[in-house]
Amino acid sequence: MLVIVAPGQGAQTPGFLTPWLEDSTFASRFAWLSTVAGLDLAHYGTEADAETIRETQIAQPLLVATGLVAALELFPHPSDAFSQIGAVAGHSVGELAAAAGARTITAEQAMVLVRERGKAMADAAAVTPTGMTAVLGGDRDEVLAKIAAHGLTPANDNGPGQIVAAGTLEQLDAFKADPPAKARLVPLSVAGAFHTEHMAPAVGHLATLAKSVSVHDPRTPVISNRDGQVVHDGREVLKRIVGQIANPVRWDLCLETMSDLGVTGILEMPPAGTLTGIAKRALKGVETFALKTPDQLDDARAFCAKHGEASSIDTTPTWRMVVSPAKGTFHIAGEAADLDVLPAGAAIGDVASLRDRISVTAAHGGQVVEWLVEDGDLVSPGQPLLRLHPEGAA
């Protein structure tokens, strides 16, 4: 099974776009998304220095545009992608690229949202001097306890041995003077404490804009940063993307879900390397491919063909699927089992995992065609649970 991942802020390096823009098709598509964003992204990806592309309002649109156009280079016919990709995920701002790739939002919507996201987060970061520090190694529980003791937030939990603490510069200085045992601290070159309460003003701005964004349910399962759950409701995907601006990125839980799905191959979109590096440490035996330059495209397509298989979500237009958000045991809600028509938002049951119980709802409602699981069945992330026929459909 193949999972495509999109990196977050910090993955960009000076000049990384230069070889990609040598292709006229890539260049024209990139110019279109740059126009939507209102930025000369080609300049920033080829000529700008590291300090310039570190700026939040530049880095974020640059990353999303690169991922979206590179995806069209990898899969010139998008239908080919849906027949091979089992799931998608993006780290932080990479979730916008993942959502567009899954057809929840359009590329143009993604670029408007990321433009406004970057500006709003930069404005929020300017209010109070804040930053982020990576904590490498150490005992996980001790690291988290020490982060909490200093009033910091574990803003990125990236998997075994890598947690990013975020907060004010004073808090980070105190943390540096009193670090967790056997851990190495690495200050990150970022403009603020992303994915913390300091970004709350940006959430409000994006939430207002998101109300006017039309969405579709994803064609491919989206693994959410918030909790690693598989999300198959377009409105929920967008809601989570907005909320994660001020909430921690749980990439560790995304990796757990990939494992539960049975992933065999992970391909990272450019500028690649960060997420495949994490995956190599966390998911032993899973092959990875870091797509960095266009001369790798043929090998990348072969990698996708080797690991690819269509997701279990049925994309027939007249049917709607309700899918499991996580691995666990499914319990059908008594009232749902007896109904022939479910209203929008009706609870159909829950999935009990080792970590928690997750309620499952029929976001759109509809006529019950068939239950695809029975009460007490073990289910995997993204597994179809119930097939519905939209009310009023022919």
Concerning whether 92 is annotated as a catalytic residue, the answer is: yes
Is-contact 59 9, C-beta < 8 A? yes
| Phi, psi angles (nearest 5°) of residue 285 | 90, -10
Query: Which amino acid type is present at position 121?
Result: M
Is-contact 98 230, C-beta < 8 A? no
Task: Give the separation between CA 349 and CA 333, rounded to whole angstroms.
Answer: 4
The catalytically annotated residue of 34, 91, 92, 311 is 92
Q: At what angle do helices 56-74 and 24-37 cross, to 10 degrees?
A: 140
3-state secondary structure of 293: coil
The catalytically annotated residue of 195, 198, 232, 307 is 195
| Phi, psi angles (nearest 5°) of residue 60 | -65, -50
Concerning whether 195 is annotated as a catalytic residue, the answer is: yes
Closest CA to 123 of 43, 204, 66, 39: 204
Q: How far is residue 241 from each of residues 81, 90, 118, 175, 202, measured CA to CA in Å?
A: 22, 10, 13, 29, 12
Half-sphere exposure of 225 (CA within 13 A, CB side): 30
Task: Give the separation between CA 149 and CA 179, rounded to whole angstroms.
Answer: 11
Tracing tokens 């450019």 back to the chain, one arrives at 270
DSSP letters of 216-279? ---SS-EE-TTTS-EE--HHHHHHHHHHGGGS-B-HHHHHHHHHHHT--EEEEPSS-SHHHHHH
3-state secondary structure of 163: strand
Q: Please, what's the largest Cα pairwise distance for the chain? A: 67
Is-contact 89 104, C-beta < 8 A? no
Q: Enumerate the active-site residues.
A: 92, 195
